Amino acid sequence: MTAIRDHTKKSEYKTITFFCASTILLSECATWLWTLPKIFCALITITLFPCFVLSLFLWLNASEKERDIPFMGY
* Interval 6-65: pLDDT, tens: 456 788 889 999 999 999 999 999 999 989 999 999 999 999 999 999 999 888 887 666
pTM of the model: 0.75
Side-chain half-sphere CA neighbours of 26 within 13 A: 8
Identify the pLDDT of residue 74.
58
Closest CA to 18 of 71, 60, 62, 55: 55
Residue 5 neighbours by CB under 8 Å, 6+ apart:
67
User: Quick one: pLDDT at residue 11?
Assistant: 85
pLDDT at 47: 96
Please determine, for residue 73, whether its predicted confidence score (pLDDT) is greater than 70: no
